[in-house]
Amino acid sequence: MRDVRSLRNQSGRSRSRVADHTDANRALPNSPSSEQTAAPTGQLPPPVPRRDAPLRGIALVLLASIFFTSGDTISKLLTLEIPPLQVTWLRYGTFTAIMLAIVWRTGGVKQLRTQRPKLQLLRAVGVLFSSIFFVTALRELPIADATATSFVAPLFVTALSIPILRETIGWRRWTATLIGFIGVLIVVRPGGAGFHIASLLAVASALCWAFAMIMTRMMSRTESPLTTLTYSAIIGFVLMTLVIPFLWGPVTPWIVLLGMIIGVTSTVGHWLIVLAYRHGDASLLAPFSYIQLLWASLFGYALFSVLPDYWTLVGAVIIAGSGLYTAHRERVRAKRLG
C-alpha cells in the first residue's frame, strides 16, 4: 500500500514512495480527535500548529524509514509463499481497517463526503497499481534495487504536471529530471547483464505513484487528507477483493499475521512522517528519507544475503540528488508565487 506504503509522502512505498510521502501522509491524525475540525463541506481543516524541533523531526524520519523498509522486507518474504496480488490484498485489508477505525473515531460517515469522486477513484487506482507493481517487483529484485528505482517518483511528478496540470517547467527542473532518469537507466541497465524485467515494474510503480500524487494535488483544496486516504483504502480493497478469488493461494495463520504486520508497519511509518513534518521543514527533512536505501541494503543482506552493486548505488545517488534539487526548485518557485 503504497498508500499504505502509501498511506508510504500517501509515501513513498513509496512512495517517490519516499520523497513524496508528505503529500498524503498528512492524512493520518496525531490523535483520534485531531481531524474532528474538518468541515463536512470538504473544506480543509485548520493547520496543526508546528513546533520547530528539527532534531526530533529528523529522528522521526529515520525511524519511519525503518518501518517502511520492514514492511517491504516482509512483503518480499511473503511473495515467496503466496502471489504478490494476495500480499497486496492482505496489506489493503489492514490499511482499510485502520482507516475506517480512524474515520469512526473522528466524525463517522461525514468524513467520507467528497466533491471529487472521479479524482478519488483515479487516485485510488493509481495507488493500487503502484502497490501491485512494487510488490511484484520485490519478488524478483533485491530490496535495495527496488527502493532505489522508486526514488524516481518525484521526477515523474514533474513530467506529469505538464500535460495534466498545465504547469510550466523551467530548464533547471527539466535538467534535474533528465539527470534523474539517467540515474534510473544506470540502476535498471536495460540490455545489460544485470538487467531484470522486474526493474520495469519498479519504474511502473513509481509512475503510478506519481500519477496518484498529481490527483492528490488536484483535490487538495476541496478534500481533506483523511477523506482521500480512506477512499484510496476502500476502493483499493474492493477492487482487490473482486479479483483475489481467482488468484488465491493457500495461507496459514502465520502468513495472515505477517500480512497484517505489513499494513501496521506502513501505517506507523506514515504516522511518524506526519509527526516529523510538524517539527521541521520539508527542505530539511527530505534528504534523510533517502536513508531508506541503507536500511534496504542491510535488511536485504541480513535476510537474503544480497547487497546492491556499485552501479545501483551510483544510480541511486544520481536519482536522489536530482530529486532533492527538484524539491529545492519547487521551494524557490513557491516563495516567488507566495
Question: What's the pLDDT score for residue 8?
Answer: 42
Question: What's the pLDDT score for residue 97?
Answer: 95
Spatial CB neighbours of 320, under 8 Å, sequence gap ≥ 6 = 151, 287, 290, 293
Judge if pTM exceeds 0.85. Answer: no
Q: Distance between CA atoms of 270 and 79, rounded to whole angstroms?
A: 23
Spatial CB neighbours of 4, under 8 Å, sequence gap ≥ 6 = 71, 91, 92, 94, 95, 131, 233, 262, 263, 266, 267, 270
Question: What's the pLDDT score for residue 28?
Answer: 34
**pLDDT per residue over 96-124, tens digit each?**
999 999 999 988 888 888 999 999 999 99
| Beta strand residue intervals within 106-222, DSSP E | none
Structural contact between residues 147 and 8, judged by C-beta atoms closer than 8 angstroms:
no
For residue 2, tell me if it sits in a domain: no
Q: Give the single-character DSSP code of 49.
A: P
Q: Distance between CA atoms of 79 and 87, rounded to whole angstroms?
A: 7
User: Cα dihedral angle (34, 35, 38, 43), rounded to 10 degrees?
Assistant: 110
For residue 46, tell me if it sits in a domain: no
Question: What's the pLDDT score for residue 184?
Answer: 85
C-alpha angle 191/195/196, rounded to 5°?
Answer: 125
Domain span at 171: 21-30+52-337
6 phi, psi to nearest 5 deg: -105, -20
Question: What's the pLDDT score for residue 282?
Answer: 66
For residue 272, tell me if it sits in a domain: yes
Q: Which three cell numbers stand for residue 216?
A: 492528490
- 6 SS3 class: strand
- 288 SS3 class: helix
For residue 221, tell me if it sits in a domain: yes
Spatial CB neighbours of 55, under 8 Å, sequence gap ≥ 6 = none
Q: Which three cell numbers stand for residue 99?
A: 482507516
C-alpha angle 21/324/294, rounded to 5°?
Answer: 70
Question: What's the pLDDT score for residue 223?
Answer: 86
Structural contact between residues 127 and 3, judged by C-beta atoms closer than 8 angstroms:
yes
* CB-count burial class (<10 Å; 0-12, 13-18, 19+) for 334: exposed
For residue 251, tell me if it sits in a domain: yes
How far apart, in Å, are the Cα atoms of 232 and each of 278, 316, 319? 24, 29, 28
Angle formed by the axes of helices 282-289 and 310-337, to 10°? 170
How many folded domains does the chain comprise?
A: 1
Structural contact between residues 273 and 229, judged by C-beta atoms closer than 8 angstroms:
no
Q: Distance between CA atoms of 260 and 71, rounded to whole angstroms?
A: 10
Q: In which residue ranges of the chain is pLDDT below 50?
A: 1-2, 4-50
- Amino acid (one-letter) located at 52: D
**pLDDT per residue over 150-163, tens digit each?**
888 888 888 888 88
